[in-house]
Amino acid sequence: MANAIDRNELQVVKELRGGGLLYPKNIPGDRGNAALITQILFIILFIALCAYFASRNRDLNECIKYCVYCTSSNILLISLCNFLIRIANLFEELRHVHARYGDKISKVFAVALEYNTLCIIIIAVCISCLIAMRMEVKNPFNYLWSYGPEAYICSLLSTLIILRLVNIDESRLDTTLKLSQMKGLDYGSSMAYSYFYGYLNIVLPSVGDESKGLYENIKVYESINGVEVPVKKLFILIPTSLHIPPNLEEASYYWMESAKKLESVVRTRAGVVHRTYHNTVYKIHPSGQRKNNSKVYVITEGATPLLTFYEVLEHSDKDSSSYKEFKKEIAGSFYRTLRHIIKSKPECRDLCELIYYEDYDCDGKKVNIAEILLEKIGEQTTLALDYGE
């Protein structure tokens, strides 16, 4: 009673002496085992009903034998259906063997056809039961239906719950597919939304107050420094390795040189008064020649959430191994979601360009990000000329 009263009056989550947590009634706590216990009770109930319907005018031993044979047959039938679905997914994954699996076909089969240990044990036992049934009865199909539809349906219902409990669908590929079906709840999409609304939506558009948007800041920078920024956009770098050096000079073999930053955008957010946001201008020296005056100015930076994600992978936290296994899917989800958000915002879509690239070539040599940026700038300026801008 004391705990119930405390919980009703509680406003803050409290740590208990034993290491547990006491939540206020309006803050969701950790889920318990009620669902698991209920599913086990359902299995027991349906097996009992199967035995009841099968026991009419029959020997008890025959009734128990039927329950075992029927449940085993149903498990194998549903497992066969699950295997066929895995084969269908396998054919799709074979199309991505280079990008996702490093040209290792064996890895494609491994991620698509793996089963957890409990599933393998259950399927092996059921195969043994099926062999025994086939030796004992002439026609297994007639035998399974001979005890009536009620007994068979009860066995089928218990089978469905059993396979749900042992997670018959579990595989690395199934986890990957579920990540893409989470409707924005996956880690990559979450990082993209946080990055856009926590940063890009602050520095890119002009909101009409004293703070300037990116385009206005670039125009002011050009006027003060007597230079021209050919493409007035923020180029965001998304390398597949996720690693972004502190200064992009290193990633460009020193073709790039940091210049003065743009004027800062100041906001008060989440209790931080006068928080500043700013972007860095880089000078690109084509071919790395710094002695001549052929410099190209660009505003670019790495996607900082992916650098944070990279740092998570470098540590041995409880979820790091899972993140490492699915890092390509998470990074891809980040890129696709962020691209969708930016394209859907008219005030931002022309102020930002995402560059999602492989930062190591086939020989393991780090690519020159300056060359990629120059290519992108060339595409943008050519496009602007085609449209007469």
pLDDT tens digits along 303-358: 999 988 888 888 877 777 778 888 888 888 899 999 999 999 988 888 999 999 88
Task: Report d(CA 135, CA 137) in Å as an integer.
Answer: 6
| Dihedral angle computed from the Cα positions of residues 364, 368, 373 and 375, in that order, rounded to the nearest 10 degrees | -80
DSSP 8-state assignment for residue 360: B
Does residue 357 share a domain with residue 262? yes
Does residue 342 share a domain with residue 313? yes
| Distances from the Cα of 137 to the Cα of 92, 144, 149, angstroms | 40, 10, 19
Q: Which residues pair with 22 in a beta bridge?
A: 14
How much is the pLDDT for 378?
87
Q: Rounded to the nearest 5°, which phi and psi values hold at 281?
A: -95, 135
How much is the pLDDT for 5?
44
Query: In terms of residue numbers, what domain contains 219?
Result: 187-386
Instruction: Tell me the Cα Rg of the chain.
Output: 30
**Do 321 and 176 meet the contact criterion of CB atoms below 8 Å apart?**
no
Does residue 101 share a domain with residue 217? no
Query: Which residue, of 145, 171, 197, is where some domain finishes?
Result: 171
- Round to the nearest angstrom and report the end-to-end CA distance of the chain: 74
How would residue 143 be classed by pLDDT, with cut points 50, 70 and 90?
confident
Query: What CATH number is associated with residue 293?
Result: 3.40.50.12100
Does residue 73 register a pLDDT over 50?
yes
Query: Which residue, of 171, 204, 226, is where some domain finishes?
Result: 171
Average pLDDT in the chain = 84
Average pLDDT over residues 236-257: 87
Q: Tens digits of per-residue pLDDT, 217-246? A: 889 888 888 888 899 999 999 998 888 888
Domain count, the chain: 2
